[in-house]
Amino acid sequence: MKRPHVTSNTMNEIIQGTTIYLRPITESDTDMVLTWRNSDRTVSNFYYRTPISTEDHLSWIRNKVNKGEVYQYIVCMKEGDVPVGCVYLQHIEADTLTGETGVFFSEGAPAGKGLATEAVKLIGEKVGFEMLGLLHLTAKVMEKNTASRRVHEKAGYRLVKTVQGESCTDGEIVNSLYYIKDADKTVIPRKALIKPHTGKITETEDGYLIKVPGSKSITNRALLIAMLAEGTTVLNGVLFSDDTESFLNCMDSLGIETVVDRENCTVTVTGCGGDIPMKEASLNVGSAGTAARFLTAVLGLVKDGVYHMDSSDQMKKRPMAPLLNSLINLGCEVEYEGEEGFFPFTLKPHGIKKDETTVDIDKSSQFLSALIIASAFIKPDLQINVTGKHGMTYVDMTKKMVSESVELTRGRTPLSDEFPDKGVRPHVSYDIEPDASAAAYFFAMSPLIGKSVTIAGLHEDSMQGDTGFVKVLQNIGWLTYEDTPAGIRVSCDIGDVPHCQTDSLTKGYVPNVTIDMSTCSDQTITLAAIAPFTGKNIRITGISHIRVQESDRISAIVTELTKLGVKCSEDGDDILIDVSCPHPAEIETYNDHRMAMGFSLLGLKVPGITILNPSCCGKTFPDYFAYLYEIM
């Protein structure tokens, strides 16, 4: 399908003022822009340092716009009636709903009046976010261009990375700063001029075949195992998200050699054989729970080193004490730099001094998974005793991946299973499963959109516990599923799901259903979002530990559903949700990716649902809303 492109007659409003005005870019702008672009002032501050002819620029505009590859708008800055510069929006990527901005000035442009900052804000907020419905804007700035840096920072852009030694078109080598600005909200259903085209969704006779990204849980386990193994491992189907990027950055800080191919979703890792190259390092795990727990376990068990561990503010609220207490018991020194049992802290390992340890998994099974992986490569005969109660599906995944990656020997090993005690099996490549957690949102929305959904490559024998969420949905009569050669397929035979369940309320009998979500607790929010439409009063249990994840998810669910007019409450650590008639509201996401994705489903039946901070999905599924809007 050809992408639509924006023209002047689709612009609903033209903003004009005494200092700036907004309008679509036309070919008549070319001479003016080229004059600025090729001026001495511009050449000294811009990447396109080699002058470009008017003919070449016109050809570039025509080709890009006619192919639907670029949507161009411009904010012109004026001193009186004289144009002195412009900010443009172009290079829009429909697959990720991202646009790129740039700035040109004339030699006589006034300084210190804030025109450029005002223009950058206008092109972003009025055009990029409101009219075109983009979710992200990016800009690349030379490190030495302090004026442009100030403009973008004042306009609300944040610096995401610095690249040393990039080449301009005339061969000059410069350092580049990459900035991004995210939309602060998105409204469902979406009314925008650009329809996303992810390239990951195929329309079938009765629904959709969807390729979701690779599993976050498997990706980060695979990265750690490849890091600790000997030789080279090629990981295929890698998820690239905030969490996995944090993991990769930490690996780099530890001296682990990686080759990253984001376009083809592969990472090649040269393993260290359990001997970390860097004996002192400072790591920041961001908000990634797996990176936080897995890397802490490894660095706390090695023979020596000093490792300074920090995290995002969000991760600083999540518990680490059960794992750290186990490491201390085994001989690691831990120096806390803030509250005991939480990030930040410094690890000073001295090797493993005992043959067994105990870990409490009440708050997270990641503590156990972390020790299993680390001990498998450092002390295979370590006995791990477990206290507390938690769903073990992620632990089972960990054990399976470890056993697949190393030679096995018989005998008593941790958790009474077979674990390695010698050499690593040569590993050529490892294929990462599609993310069952990401798939769950599309399974749940199938009845809401009245279409079948098949998740390519995800099958019932998956290692991931969230694959079982389809059984939960089938058991409550929400959908039916089958495992096909293409992948798990769900469909709905209950007809159009009503927005309002007053019929169920007035018939006198509403079934009460209790659902234990301990084996797929990440989908508690997803279940809660569709619960008002199910025709059943639902009690969700087995979820006490989700209070200490990215947010207090039990409290967040009840708060936001109540805001929507849904009758719900907390009962200890259970959630009670009655059939209801939700109304539109703004959904606070608490910087929790699963709140943003789960509550977006309500917008498929309740027009006007607004999701605040949608970019928090970048933690595990950066392009989620592009997927959603392509289906709508």
Tell me the catalytic residues.
522
What letter would DSSP give residue 199? Answer: S
Amino acid at 374: A
Here the tokens at position 304 are 């020596």
The Cα–Cα gap between 373 and 111 comes to 57
Here the tokens at position 579 are 């059939």
Here the tokens at position 60 are 């570039």
Contacts of 436 (CB under 8 A, 6+ apart): 215, 458, 462, 464, 465, 466, 467, 469
Amino acid at 289: G
Answer whether 556's CB lies under 8 Å from 528's CB. Answer: no
What letter would DSSP give residue 271? Answer: -
SS3 of 414, please? helix
> Three-state SS string across 36-65, please?
HHCCHHHHCCCCCCCCCCHHHHHHHHHHHH
Q: Measure CA 552 to chain center.
A: 19
Contacts of 154 (CB under 8 A, 6+ apart): 114, 117
Q: How many CB atoms lie within 10 A of CB 483?
A: 15
Q: Report the phi/psi class of residue 103: left, alpha or beta, with left for phi > 0 and alpha for psi in -120 to 50.
A: beta
> Which of 266, 327, 272 has its CA nearest to residue 294?
327
CA angle 448, 450, 453 (to 5 degrees): 90
Q: Measure CA 426 to chain center.
A: 32
Answer whether 465's CB lies under 8 Å from 215's CB. Answer: no
Here the tokens at position 479 are 């959908």
The Cα–Cα gap between 286 and 290 comes to 10
Here the tokens at position 221 are 């386990």
Torsion sign across C-alpha atoms 178, 110, 16, 52: negative
What letter would DSSP give residue 2? Answer: P
**Which residue spans within 94-172 are E strands per DSSP?**
98-105, 136-142, 158-167
Q: Measure CA 370 to chain center.
A: 22
Phi, psi for 252 (deg, rounded to 5): -60, -40
- Cβ-in-10-Å burial (0-12, 13-18, 19+) of 291 comes to buried
Cα within 13 Å of Cα(346), Cβ side: 11
Q: Which residue has the tokens 């309740």?
A: 606
> Three-state SS string across 194-247, please?
CCCCCCCEEECCCEEEECCCECHHHHHHHHHHHHHCCCEEEEECCCCCHHHHHH
Cα within 13 Å of Cα(586), Cβ side: 7
| β-bridge pairing 73-79 and 20-24 | antiparallel
C-alpha R_g of the chain: 27
